[in-house]
Structure 1
Amino acid sequence: MRSHQPVSITPSTPRHVSGTHAAVHAPRVSLGSCIRAYITRSTLDVALLPEHGRLNHFPPAPLCTIAWYLHGEAELIQIGEKAVTQALPTPIVFNGPRTEPVVSYNPGQVEVFMLALQPEALHLLTGLNMAEYTNRSSAFAQVFDAEWQSMAQAVLKAPDHGSRIALIEAFIEPRWFAARPHKSPFADWMRDSFESMAVRMLASRWVRSGRQLERQMKVWSGLSYQRLWGLRRAEFRFIAAREMLRGSDSSWSDVAASTGYADQAHFCRETRKITGLSPTELKRRVMEEESYWVYRIWS
């Protein structure tokens, strides 16, 4: 744990640094309803970044992630509006769904490989109650069984990202085919796993009421129905907004209208509620500041 003063999360000047690397990698099609994406990040090819450049702003998301710290360490310094000091249990960290923005900090250079999983799929694969891990970061070995730990160690030792992805998919694919509800007419889970999860629960013989539905949604995803839907809707619309504003003269009112919000004020309120920033300030930081790298690459 570092002993110097806490890092301010509001830099006074833009700090988007050339030479850092961040990317999103798609899973094979057969795992699309289980694995959302792989995310890679490295600052090894540049000199040690200033403290503001070593921050990482993560939006709230209804996803679970497994993060392998191949080099370096991290700690949480802010959850929502609350300042914290929590060292992450590297080198392999399990993060449950997040309902608030999170800011982490890297004391030095870092290289990290992340697996983003649909929470309902991870529940089927492992039996984990997602509600117990919502807004939590845990040591991987304290959550997963010996088979998963063996896979995770192999990924940690793999020579490159391609090998890591191959190891993960060789491990998960047969387990996913065995765990997913093949007998359901919605076996493909459609392209939107949220809709398919709701259909699957509503069709279940043991879900007979709205209260049961809400309770089971918490177990499978870690979030309430309303919260899960709100986060996924916001994600889809932020992506659409980003694409519209790239190299265009579109206004926020145009973005709000085209992405289904009642008006610009509604769009701005929801953006601030989820990210803590206005759309204009969020756009500026994403475009200019190194610490918003996740927002830049996510799609």
Structure 2
Amino acid sequence: MNSVTCPAQWERAPRFTHGAPHNRLYPAPPALQGVLAALISRDTRGLALDSAQRLSHFPASPLITLSWFDSIEPGLVQDTAAGPQWEPFASPVMLSGSQSKPLASWAPTTGRGAMACFPADVAHALFGVDLATLHDRFVPAEDVLDSSWAPLLNGLLQARDDGQAMAVLEQQLTNRWRAVNGEASALASVRQLGRHWVERLALKAHAWQRDVSPRQLERRIKSYSGRSLREWQALVRTEGLFFAARDLYEAGTPFSWADLALQEGFSDQAHMSRVSRQITGFPPGEFAQRFIEDESFWLYRLWM
């Protein structure tokens, strides 16, 4: 286990105010519509972030991500009986599968990193990866992708800014996707990605149910996607809850979590709180406070 001292997984730190980190979310360009969900980047070079401000928190998610890092060595943080433990990633380019629980990463220094996010079924078709082998894992991309993907991986590492990285993605992915899926198709907005993924998974489950028993169908869905269809539906409802809460908050409109829970399809507020903890690590009220105040929740602020 790595001996570097790191903060606890859920340690709090205020948002950095002395020259904000460069955090960006880019939707797919026209050529990558239907392929790329989003390109997300964070650049903290030259900023005096304290240890806890170098944490980044991520929700449970159905997306497959390809991440790369420049002048920074991040890794995952876990709280253990012996205290917080940090394990650096084994490569500057990592491929990760769908995640069934919220995660935290940390780095001993500031630096620059980015990640390209893909719907799971697109990643399966495009990269030829077995989704089941990636669930809840981060693996070196070069260990999973064959040598024909080296120009993509090398190009991303050599990209000096987000524009160059997007150009590499467009150059390396467009023709490959057309070869396996025909012309690019329209992609939902970031707010609709989860909902559209669940809809496609439900259609796939409907096709499978003609050939297998209900128990076998449930196992097949979990093997393919990492979760049951009901669990993915709960994730989408929770996303909808927080999108609605942010819209009301930014409009200056008072709201009740109990009322929002019912509007988004939860049986009651307690049910909503349980699912929120599973996806973000926190009940809605505490999550909302961290969303507003904590530096490590930068990704949530970009996505929502």
Equivalent pairs counted in the alignment come to 293
Asked if the contact 1:120–1:220 (Cα under 8 Å) also holds between the matched residues in 2, the reply is no
Match of 2:169? 168
Match of 1:57? 57
Give 2:253's match in structure 1, choosing from 248, 251, 258: 248
Asked if the contact 2:100–2:226 (Cα under 8 Å) also holds between the matched residues in 1, the reply is no
- Measure how far apart 1:135 and its partner are: 0.7
Match of 1:101? 102
Asked if the contact 1:68–1:92 (Cα under 8 Å) also holds between the matched residues in 2, the reply is yes
Asked if the contact 2:27–2:38 (Cα under 8 Å) also holds between the matched residues in 1, the reply is yes
User: Quick one: distance in 2 between partners of 1:172 and 1:201?
Assistant: 28
Asked if the contact 1:202–1:213 (Cα under 8 Å) also holds between the matched residues in 2, the reply is no
Match of 1:146? 147
Matches within 5 A, 1:255-270: 255-270=260-275
Matches within 5 A, 1:40-55: 40-47=41-48, 49-55=49-55
Could you tell which deviates more after superposition, 89-98 or 194-203? 194-203
User: Quick one: distance in 2 between partners of 1:178 and 1:243?
Assistant: 40
User: Quick one: distance in 1 between partners of 2:209 and 2:282?
Assistant: 43
Kindly provide the CA deviation profile for residues 239-262 of structure 1, in whole angstroms up to 9, marking residues without a partner as x. Answer: 222222233322212322332323
User: Quick one: distance in 1 between partners of 2:224 and 2:109?
Assistant: 36
- Measure how far apart 1:73 and its partner are: 0.8
- Seen in structure 2, the aligned counterparts of structure 1 residues 3 and 195 have a Cα distance that, compared at 3 Å, is same
Paired amino acid for 2:176: R
Matches within 5 A, 1:193-232: 193-200=197-204, 202-203=206-207, 207-211=211-215, 213-232=217-236
Asked if the contact 2:72–2:109 (Cα under 8 Å) also holds between the matched residues in 1, the reply is yes
Asked if the contact 2:8–2:84 (Cα under 8 Å) also holds between the matched residues in 1, the reply is no
What SS does the corresponding residue of 1:272 show, helix, strand or coil? helix
Asked if the contact 1:40–1:112 (Cα under 8 Å) also holds between the matched residues in 2, the reply is yes
Q: Could you tell me the percent identity over the aligned residues?
A: 31
- Seen in structure 2, the aligned counterparts of structure 1 residues 10 and 152 have a Cα distance that, compared at 3 Å, is closer
- Structure 2's unaligned 5+ residue stretches are none
- Seen in structure 2, the aligned counterparts of structure 1 residues 145 and 258 have a Cα distance that, compared at 3 Å, is same
- Structure 1's unaligned 5+ residue stretches are none
- Seen in structure 2, the aligned counterparts of structure 1 residues 115 and 189 have a Cα distance that, compared at 3 Å, is closer
What SS does the corresponding residue of 1:66 show, helix, strand or coil? strand
Residue 142 of structure 2 corresponds to residue 137 of structure 1: no
Residue 238 of structure 2 corresponds to residue 234 of structure 1: yes
- Seen in structure 2, the aligned counterparts of structure 1 residues 189 and 66 have a Cα distance that, compared at 3 Å, is closer
| TM-score, length basis structure 2 | 0.85
- Seen in structure 2, the aligned counterparts of structure 1 residues 228 and 67 have a Cα distance that, compared at 3 Å, is same
User: Quick one: distance in 2 between partners of 1:80 and 1:279?
Assistant: 25
What SS does the corresponding residue of 2:52 show, helix, strand or coil? helix
- Measure how far apart 1:66 and its partner are: 0.7
Asked if the contact 2:25–2:41 (Cα under 8 Å) also holds between the matched residues in 1, the reply is yes
Paired amino acid for 2:15: H
Paired amino acid for 2:108: P
What SS does the corresponding residue of 2:37 show, helix, strand or coil? strand
- Seen in structure 2, the aligned counterparts of structure 1 residues 147 and 201 have a Cα distance that, compared at 3 Å, is farther
- Seen in structure 2, the aligned counterparts of structure 1 residues 214 and 28 have a Cα distance that, compared at 3 Å, is farther
Kindly provide the CA deviation profile for residues 258-290 of structure 1, in whole angstroms up to 9, marking residues without a partner as x. Answer: 323233232222212322212111111111111
- Seen in structure 2, the aligned counterparts of structure 1 residues 147 and 214 have a Cα distance that, compared at 3 Å, is farther
Could you tell which deviates more after superposition, 133-142 or 234-243? 234-243
Q: Which runs of 4+ in 1 moved over 6 A?
A: 79-82, 187-191
User: Quick one: distance in 1 between partners of 2:245 and 2:97?
Assistant: 26
What SS does the corresponding residue of 2:278 show, helix, strand or coil? helix
Could you tell which deviates more after superposition, 93-102 or 30-39? 30-39
Match of 1:16? 15
Kindly provide the CA deviation profile for residues 174-222 of structure 1, in whole angstroms up to 9, marking residues without a partner as x. Answer: 222232388xxxx868871331243245346985444554454345433
- Seen in structure 2, the aligned counterparts of structure 1 residues 177 and 207 have a Cα distance that, compared at 3 Å, is farther
- Measure how far apart 1:2 and its partner are: 6.0
Match of 1:68? 68
Kindly provide the CA deviation profile for residues 36-62 of structure 1, in whole angstroms up to 9, marking residues without a partner as x. Answer: 111111111422x11110111111101
User: Quick one: distance in 2 between partners of 1:174 and 1:210?
Assistant: 39
